[in-house]
Each structure stands twice: as C-alpha cells, then as structure tokens.
Amino acid sequence: MPVEAEELKMTESLISFINEWKEKPGNLIMVLHRVQEEYGYIPRNIAFELGKMLDVPLAKIYGVVTFYHYFKLEKPGKHTVSVCMGTACYLKGGQDLVSELEQLLGVGCGGTTEDKQFSLQAVRCIGCCGLAPVLTIGQEVFGKLTTEMLPEVISKFK
C-alpha cells in the first residue's frame, strides 16, 4: 500500500460503525465502503487499524481493495472527472474525451494532477445515455460534449 505523508486518525463515527459491523458476516466490504466515504480513499494507516479491529490480515484488506475497482488507495484530487464509457458514450466519442482530458490535465486516466486539483477516471454507464457523451465532475453532469468544449468545462473548477 502507498506510503502517506500524513497519518490520519479514525473518527468516532467510523470507530462506532466498525464496532457495529465487527461481528457481522461479510463486514469487510461494508466497512471499506464507509472508510472510503469518510476519507475519499483507503488510507494506509487506517487499513492497519481496520485490520486490528476486525482481526483481518492487511493482505486480505489489500486484496479486497485492489480487486474492486471502486476502492482507491491514493487520495483523489479535489475534483474527480469521470468520463462515461458506456456504449452510447463510447460510440459518440467518450474515448476522444478521455484522450483530450489526458492532454489538457497532463495526467493519464486513473491519475491525479500534480497540484491535486483533478483526478481523471473512465467509468461505466452513468445513466445519461440521451446526453452522450457525458462526463461528471463531482455531482455536476456535462452532456453532449465535444473535445473543444473541455477547456471551458475544466476552467469552471480551477
């Protein structure tokens, strides 16, 4: 797991949640979802603490986190740019959007900009097929996009 500059502390609400789920079967995935909800990713030191609290080896936690695409091991940027790659978006230029964003942001898909402002990811269908191609930044949806529109979209978040 990546080394982090800062050591994060578990919040009281997270500790309470873990204790509530401690004895339930299949608890690891539920608890990992809660950790990611709290921090935006799975911090290394929190994973160690989680292992102790649930009596689960770190290797198992790491295995689950790396198996499921949803979980992140690195802190995401302030703004997550998610480009839909579902069928409609892909056919209408979703991959072109990804390629242009990689150039515009200077980061590959799955990466975070050096200034930690943007993370770029390709995602499966987000349910806005009528607006294809679509991307989201946080909770904001942008549809019927062209590569030419991307600088203006990104500038709204700088």
Read off the pLDDT band of 131 (50, 70, 90).
very high
Q: What is the average pLDDT value for the chain, to the nearest integer?
A: 93
Consult the annotation and say whether 89 binds a ligand. yes
3-state DSSP assignment of residue 75: coil
Evaluate whether 45 touches 8 at the Cβ level (below 8 Å).
Answer: yes
Evaluate whether 125 touches 89 at the Cβ level (below 8 Å).
Answer: yes
Instruction: Give the contacts of 4 (CB within 8 A, at least 6 positions apart).
Output: 43, 44, 45, 75
H helix or E strand, kind and range, residue 136:
strand 135-137
Predicted confidence (pLDDT) at residue 158 exceeds the cutoff of 60: yes
Query: What's 80's DSSP letter?
Result: E
Two tokens at 84?
Answer: 């839909």
How confident is the model over 40-69, as pLDDT tens digits? Answer: 999 999 999 999 999 999 999 999 999 988
Consult the annotation and say whether 128 binds a ligand. no
**Domains of the chain (ranges, CATH numbers):** 12-67 (no CATH), 79-155 (3.40.30.10)
